[in-house]
Amino acid sequence: MGKNKHRFFLINLYVFIFIFGLPYTGLSQCVPDTANCEDIGDPGEICPDSLPSGMQGVPYEEVITIISPDTVTKGAISTSLVKIRLDTVLNLPPGIVYESEYREFFPDSVYCILLSGTPTDTGTYYLGITITPFIDILGSIVSLDPVTDDTSIFIRIEPPSLSELTENNGFKLLAGYPNPFQISTRIGYTLSTSGETEIMVYNMLGCIVYHEKMMGSSGKNYFKFTGEDLPSGIYLYSVIWDKNSLNAKLVKSR
């Protein structure tokens, strides 16, 4: 699959099984996007070039569609392919893995690769799909050198879109320590006057994973938050006092 030999389209996970006469060689865990990924004989296609963005700490799952080419070019010579072998997908965002039920792709058939996991870092990641072409030479199946298509397919992982407010009218959050934490962390705040306070910790889906109330005194106060049973990732916590709410982030590490 030559670099710059692809056309890219938006992804859609729910597609028709047959289009343009191409057989669907399906996976149990993903469905190729044959509605938008068309074989225009260029040769072969990989769709899309830019996958939907993900967010750090939020589960991610998307599909890459591959229409296997029928020829391979080596130097000035174009040769018919017997098959290609999927070797690996390089430069995935940390926390994301790939799955493909089929490791061998045959000409003019449609396949897919499932990307899934929970990103643990931000950035733009240009993926490299490495394949080994196989050709027929006088009745013998021979492998050529591996080829990596790393021209344009990328995933952007954004930081968590969390609104943080750490001070309001004499009510102030103190930095959680340790943060990141593995088992427990101490969440502090200061009050101008004593009163009942409560803390709520949310996961990235907005579900409350911890809730506690305590009487706070004027000055510094602390909650001890134990999250050893929680999965690693980003969490948002809110401390509430006298109708005021302050928010910040916690990171649970492995």
Question: What one-letter code names the amino acid at 150?
Answer: D
Same domain, yes or no: 143 and 188: no
In a domain, 222, yes or no: yes
Range of the domain at 94: 45-158
Is 14 part of any domain? no
51 and 143 fall within a common domain:
yes
Statement: residue 26 has pLDDT above 50: no
Q: Are residues 141 and 223 in the same domain?
A: no
Q: For residue 59, give the CATH number of its domain.
A: 2.60.40.10
List pLDDT tens digits, range 103-126: 898 887 888 999 998 888 888 888
What does the buried/exposed string (b/e) look like for 111-143 if buried means 16 or more CB atoms within 10 Å of the residue's CB? Answer: bbbbbbbbbbebeebebebebebbbeeeeeeee
Ramachandran angles phi, psi of 30, nearest 5° = -155, 165
Q: Are residues 112 and 175 in the same domain?
A: no
Q: Are residues 50 and 154 in the same domain?
A: yes
Q: Distance between CA atoms of 216 and 199, rounded to whole angstroms?
A: 12
pLDDT at 27: 39
Please, which pLDDT band fits residue 74 given cuts at 50, 70 and 90?
Answer: low
Same domain, yes or no: 79 and 129:
yes
Q: For the domain that residue 205 is a member of, what is the CATH number? A: 2.60.40.2550
Is 75 among the domain residues?
A: yes
Sequence-ordered list of residues with C-beta below 8 angstroms from that of 167, at least 6 positions apart, any chain: 173, 246
CA 25/CA 211 separation, integer angstroms: 48
Question: In this predicted model, what pLDDT tens digit does every residue of 175-210 receive, in sequence order?
Answer: 888 888 889 999 999 999 999 999 989 887 778 899
Same domain flag for 109 and 145: yes
Number of domains in the chain: 2
pLDDT at residue 5 above 50?
no
